[in-house]
Amino acid sequence: MPLARHELIRAYQRMKTIREFEERLHVEIANGQIAGFTHLYAGQEAVAVGVCENLSVEDRIVSTHRGHGHCIAKGCDVVGMMKEIFGRRDGLCHGKGGSMHIADTTIGMLGANGIVGAGAPIALGAALAAKMDDKGHVAVTFTGDGACNQGTTFEAMNMAVVLKAPLLFAFENNHYSEHTGDHYSVGAKDMASRAEGFGMLARKVDGCDFLASYDIVNDVLKHCRAGNGPAAIEFNTERFFGHFEGDPQRYRGPDEIGRLRSTRDCLKIFRDKVTKSGLLDGATLDQIDADVLALIERAVEEAQKAPPPTAADVLTNVYATY
């Protein structure tokens, strides 16, 4: 289904925001500005945005440890996110979660998660809640080529089929599960067919092509929203950075990242496609680029100035009442 102009602009803006957010974090982390572990999503933008542009605020997503992209795509406040990653008191999670647990449940982003594979059961729950509401809402679990081998993912696939839950398994195959290649760790070599084996509708798509990804998600979600049960899409995508920031990436081939950034950059591919087909012009895209950079710059500035949490904040929000 063709996207309207404003939808294309929004999609590009979202993808570009993710890209620049991650690129900037890479720099800030190298400067020692950020505490803890961070896992950058740059390169996979088309998947997050391709999925989330098909969702409303009442549809819910569960993310992975590599969650900034899903968070931005779902519509979370970028400045709030930056503050959270910088550990500030008025960050999205008040400095209590950080990069790996970044969330905003009020808009259906049920959290990045530090436990690989933990997301699928939780997303299943969100799907069951949607089923109770009976309004055609869905839930999405983003699962990598690492998490797809976790028992919890298999359990969730089976149970989603058994319960006909409106759950989309978005398998993001970026070909690396930490330091191990998917050709080694995914025994069946094919996540989509494994999902199909569990009894659900399964598709594959080039995850670096936003337009193709958007279309296939749109199609598949019709199936889910209509009460036909879960579905799976395997997205073939790439990550440009390491598993975590600080990863020496010795598992890469010679000049692999250079090659990926030139041939498998979803932003470039999108720009090519929309300009060649006249859907959008380069100047519009350039303006979006500039605006996004300004946003990220502002986000970092505000994050650096924002006050840190106090010792008393350790004790808050353990329970509603105790």
Partner 1 sequence: MAVMNMREAIASTIHAEMERDSNVLILGEDIVGGMGTAGGPEAIGGIWGLTGGLYAKFGPNRVIDTPISESCIIGAAAGAALSGKRAIAELMFADFVGVCLDQLYNQIAKFRYMFGGAKCPVTVRLTYGAGLNAAAQHSQAVYAMLTSIPGLKVVMPTTPADAKGLLTSAIRGDDPVMFFEHKTLYGDKGEVPDGDYLLPFGHARMVREGHDASIVTCGQMVGFAARAADNLAKEGIACDVIDLRTTSPMDEETILDSVEMSGRLIVVDESPPRCSLASDIAGLVANKGFAALRAPIEMVTPPHTPVPFARELEKAYLPSAAGIEAAVRKALAYR
The residue to which tokens 């740059």 are assigned: 42
Nearer to partner 1, 58 or 291 (CB): 58
The residue to which tokens 């990926």 are assigned: 260
Scan residues 190-249 and list those touching partner 1 (CB under 8 A). none
The answer to whether 319 contacts partner 1 (rule: CB under 8 A) is yes
Nearer to partner 1, 15 or 120 (CB): 120
Scan residues 72-91 and list those touching partner 1 (CB under 8 A). 91
Site for partner 1 (CB under 8 A): which residue of 8, 46, 79, 127?
127
Site for partner 1 (CB under 8 A): which residue of 1, 283, 312, 320?
320
HSE-CB at 73 with a 13 A cutoff on CA atoms is 34
Q: Give the strand pairing for 139-144 and 176-177.
A: unpaired
Give the C-alpha separation, 224 to 233, whole Å. Answer: 12
The answer to whether 163 contacts partner 1 (rule: CB under 8 A) is yes
| Shortest reach from residue 147's CB to partner 1, in Å | 13
Which of these ranges, 102-110, 177-185, 203-211, 212-220, lies near partner 1 under the rule CB under 8 A? 102-110
Question: With contact defined as beta carbons under 8 Å apart, do 243 and 179 qualify?
Answer: yes
Name the helix (H) or strand (E) containing 18. helix 5-30
User: Where do the H-state alpha helices sit in 200-265?
Assistant: 210-225, 256-263
| Shortest reach from residue 103's CB to partner 1, in Å | 4
CA angle in degrees (0–180, nearest 5) for 206-24-86: 115
Site for partner 1 (CB under 8 A): which residue of 7, 27, 35, 105?
105
- Quick one: angle between helices 5-30 and 282-305, nearest 10? 40
Q: What radius of gyration, in Å, describes the C-alpha atoms of the chain?
A: 19
The answer to whether 166 contacts partner 1 (rule: CB under 8 A) is no
| Shortest reach from residue 113's CB to partner 1, in Å | 8
| Shortest reach from residue 127's CB to partner 1, in Å | 8
Site for partner 1 (CB under 8 A): which residue of 92, 202, 224, 269?
92
The answer to whether 187 contacts partner 1 (rule: CB under 8 A) is no
Scan residues 136-155 and list those touching partner 1 (CB under 8 A). 139, 151-152, 155
The residue to which tokens 């329970």 are assigned: 319
Question: With contact defined as beta carbons under 8 Å apart, do 193 and 202 qualify?
Answer: yes
The answer to whether 120 contacts partner 1 (rule: CB under 8 A) is yes
Nearer to partner 1, 118 or 266 (CB): 118
| Shortest reach from residue 320's CB to partner 1, in Å | 4
The answer to whether 114 contacts partner 1 (rule: CB under 8 A) is yes
The residue to which tokens 């579905």 are assigned: 231
Secondary structure percentages of the chain, helix, strand, coil, to 5: 50, 10, 40
164: Cβ contacts below 8 Å, ≥ 6 apart = 131, 227, 228, 229, 230
Which of these ranges, 25-33, 113-121, 243-251, 276-284, lies near partner 1 under the rule CB under 8 A? 113-121
- The binding site for partner 1 (CB under 8 A) comprises 60, 62, 91-97, 101, 103-105, 108, 110-111, 113-115, 118, 120-132, 134, 139, 151-152, 155-156, 158-159, 162-163, 317-322
